[in-house]
Amino acid sequence: MSLPPLAEPVVLLSKAERARVARHRTLAGLGEEGQRRIASARIGVVGAGGLGSPVVLALVAAGVGELVVFDDDDVELSNLSRQVMHRRDDVGAPKTASAARVAAELSETRVVQVTDRLTRGNAHELLRGLPLVIDGTDSFDSREIVASACERLGIPSVWGTVQEYTGQVTVFWSAPPAGIEPVTLHDLYPKGTDAPACSVVGVFGPLCMQVGALMASEALKLVTGLGRPLLGRVALLDALAGTQREIPLRRARVSDAPAQTALPAPSGPPEVDAPGDRVVLDVREAWELAAEGIPGSLQAPFAAVVRDASGVVDRLGLRGRDIVVVCQVGVRARLAVDALRAQNVEAVVLRGGIKGWRARQKEHA
């Protein structure tokens, strides 16, 4: 379902800009008016790193009117394998300065540089007035800060993440147009979620460009009212398999959105506190299993389950068996259970993942 465009069109494009974006203006559905909406758009980009770099490049090339780029870091040499906006000469300079440079080189886009770190205390004020935010941060603490501010402001956020060879992209909006179900970060990941830093597990550089380009596309769709945004859907990208698929994202709780948009929360997959007699399927990665696990567990990586649940079920002999799915904190398990249940497999989630299970064991020790 298309949504109303977030941006009103500018009156005219400059002669030079009309020539520069000629291939955009000829696109069916976008056209001259859509390009004029892009030219009037004001978008916040939080993070000018692995995801923010391709986002900024794509939006500047598209001719977005103004980008407000937030990042308090300086460029490091180790950034350059995946943060494609920066150059060797930029090492030691603010990352936001690279955004200003590429904008001046590519288009008429204005870049506002914000080098203050977003915190729980200032994010709401710093993001106020932006119709749309793109979250390219690289830690769950930062993502929760950005998400909380966007939820309070009622503005949409395009969200993406990359870890190792896999990526995710979706759109969160706590107060979408009437009749559209609100979806927020905590419908996908519960509070307190964490993940290993990219410095520990690594990031496949080309995937950052792929995910960032998809995030930029989602932003332009919201600005122009074009196409069907990823609101209520999560795009899952697997660089090793060369695949992209999607999973529906349902509300895990009643949102704090205004009453006219609040809808009853659908029930999620069933959860249990302990495996009991069920077969345990661990959907974490090999490096996570090396740290701790449940004895006797079967293992299939999350990406493999959501990509080819039927194949995993047949390979592991899961048909006709009661399964409990476990990950680190429960989020991947929820999505994996949805994929397994679509194959008519009786599967439930181990509540809180390995962390929750360990904590309950300690409580009852």
What three-state secondary structure class fits 235?
Answer: strand
327 is catalytic: yes
Q: Which of 230, 210, 209, 208 is nearest to 219 (CA)?
A: 230
Provide the total of helices (H) and of strands (E) in the chain, helices listed first: 15, 13
E strand or H helix that includes residue 106: helix 95-106
Structure tokens at 302: 């999350």
Structure tokens at 108: 């008429």
Catalytic residue among 198, 235, 309, 345: 198
Give DSSP secondary structure letters for 58-81: HHHHHT-SEEEEE--PBP-GGGGG
| Other Cβ atoms closer than 10 A to 263 | 13
Catalytic residue among 162, 188, 305, 327: 327
Structure tokens at 326: 């476990």
Q: Which residues contact 216 (CB under 8 A, 6 or more apart)?
A: 54, 55, 58, 59, 62, 134
Structure tokens at 365: 């020790």
Q: Which of 99, 339, 65, 50 is nearest to 215 (CA)?
A: 50
Structure tokens at 62: 């598209």
198 is catalytic: yes
Active site residues: 198, 327
